[in-house]
Amino acid sequence: MSRYTDANCKLCRREGQKLFLKGERCYSSKCAIERRNYAPGQHGQARKKQSDYGNQLREKQKAKRFYGMQETQFRNLFDKAAKRPGKTGENLLILLETRLDNVVFRLGFASSRKEARQLVTHGHFTVNGKKADIPSMEVKAGDVIKVKEKSQSSPKFKEVKEMSITVPSWMSVDVEKLEGKVVTLPRREDIDTPIAEHLIVELYSK
């Protein structure tokens, strides 16, 4: 599978908004959007009129980059969302939010989705007491996500224990135990990621 290896900050600049790919840096004055709020490249500052297709494509690219996914992964998830009852766009956002790497990020156990993906891959978490090292794993309502006992002594998770963490309404967290729970599946109004999902549906429906 191909992997993006260029500077993450270029992705934020291309989309014209913060995608929060660099953790704490995104909240500081060092953020690329704060310093150079225009697209990268020689013609980045040129004004461009966007077509309907261009708007749809940009929205899809933005969603992919927010959640750190490749095109094939994202398309497969869209097809899965389309087969479920209800609105395809909302189903897609729910599937994105309930990926294990995103849940770890939302619980405050990682400063970015990229870091969460790395921590999951390295086997630092369990789901319902069982080893879970696949970032794309779909987490269900009632699932308990916990940092492994042998990982809790690492500097990273000791630092997490000292933090004040606020989680979305569809989750709960016990920072002392380094344990979180998906209380219920998120609804559209619970998802604050700035994505116009209807544009993605329009793009893939062509």
* pLDDT tens string 154-167: 999 999 999 999 99
Q: pTM of the entire structure?
A: 0.79
- Looking at residue 77, its pLDDT comes to 97
Q: Is 125 helix (H, G, I), strand (E, B) or coil?
A: strand
| 206 confidence band (pLDDT: 50, 70, 90) | confident
CA–CA distance, 138 with 140 (Å, rounded to integer): 6
Instruction: Yes or no: say if 56 and 197 are a contact pair by the CB < 8 Å rule.
Output: no
- Looking at residue 50, its pLDDT comes to 79
Per-residue pLDDT, averaged over 186-193, amounts to 95
Burial grade of 146 (CB within 10 A; 0-12, 13-18, 19 or more): buried
